[in-house]
Amino acid sequence: MSDLRKFNADLTNEKTQKYLSEVLGARKASFVNNMVALVANNVKLQECEPMTLMFAGLKATALNLPLDQNLGYAYVIPYRDNKAGTTLAQFQIGKNGFVQLALRSNQFKTLNVSDVREGELKSIDRLSGDMVFEWKENRLNLKIIGWVAFMKLTSGFEKPLYMTVDEIAHHGKKYSKTYTSGSWKDNFEAMAEKTVIKRLLSKYAPLSVEMQQAIMADQSVITKDGEVYIDNELSEHETNPSGEEKKKDLKEKKAETKPGEVPSQPNLL
């Protein structure tokens, strides 16, 4: 049986259909059609374990983030586990996905991210974190030296966060198992934008339930047992400012079933 036929068979078997009906209700048919189309149009995804594909799709549905590459909200990325000799579906949230989740909270007045070119960063106050930029008119001809994200809440609180190109590359190499072969290699700028805006939100923004779920699920493989394996563990900005206590707290939050979250998955096969 081909990989695509196996995925279709697993997705449409009686146990899986019953589970999808319980979780999605009237949205089941649309979900199945969208997942079949997504996998049929991507040969690499056809190599993934079928249930990891389905659970990645369910997580995107729970967060209401369409798996449409043109929107840049969320993606399903094939990840090769060489030790196990299998390919798994890794759920990833794009920059636009984090922006969308933040805006839904109605606590943001402004949220933006931009590249920074040579000569544009004038100063950084290490105490307050305030930054001064001078945007150049001919900036597209200048070398990119980093990225900056900025948020302003409706409460009036505002915060920028700047990372150099080297800092972002170091982050990708340290925390992404697919740094040399995945989105980091194919579209470094998009991953840089996501990294700096995710770090800003997870360090300084008020986290809605959806945002907590998103941070935990991003770059994870979701199995039929409901386990979430974080890409090289939680990254540094997800454990700060409270270190291991924050990490433990996020893991405990992940274990709880909340409104809109996919419940614990049964053995469907």
| Minimum mean pLDDT range among 6-15, 31-40, 260-269 | 260-269
**Rounded CA separation 168/132 (Å):** 20
pLDDT tens column, 130-156: 999 999 999 999 999 999 999 999 999
Find residue 75's DSSP bridge partners: 92
Instruction: Tell me which residue has tokens 């931009």.
Output: 114
Model confidence at 81, pLDDT cuts 50, 70, 90, reads confident
User: 4 and 46 in contact (C-beta within 8 Å)?
Assistant: yes
pLDDT tens column, 87-107: 999 999 999 999 999 999 999
Residues present in the chain in total: 269
Model confidence at 261, pLDDT cuts 50, 70, 90, reads very low
Backbone angles phi, psi at 153, to 5 degrees: -85, 160
Query: How far lies 163's CA from each of 45, 214, 240, in Å?
Result: 32, 22, 16
| Minimum mean pLDDT range among 23-27, 77-81, 163-167, 245-249 | 245-249
Position 237 pLDDT exceeds 80: no
Torsion from C-alpha of 164, 181, 219, 38, nearest 10 degrees: 130
Residues near 110 by beta carbon (within 8 Å), at least 6 away in sequence: 150, 151, 152, 158
For residue 94, the one-letter residue type is: G
pLDDT tens column, 183-225: 788 889 999 999 999 999 999 999 888 998 898 889 889 876 7
Find residue 115's DSSP bridge partners: 147
Model confidence at 5, pLDDT cuts 50, 70, 90, reads confident
Q: Which two tokens stand for residue 149?
A: 């994200």
- From the DSSP assignment, how many helices (H) and strands (E) are in the chain? 11, 9
Please give the average per-residue pLDDT across 11-17, as a whole number: 91
User: 194 and 147 in contact (C-beta within 8 Å)?
Assistant: no
**Rounded CA separation 123/113 (Å):** 18
Query: What's the gap between Cα 173 and its chain centre?
Result: 17
**What's the confidence (pLDDT) of residue 224?**
67
Please give the average per-residue pLDDT across 33-60, as a whole number: 93
| Minimum mean pLDDT range among 68-82, 159-173, 189-203, 246-260 | 246-260
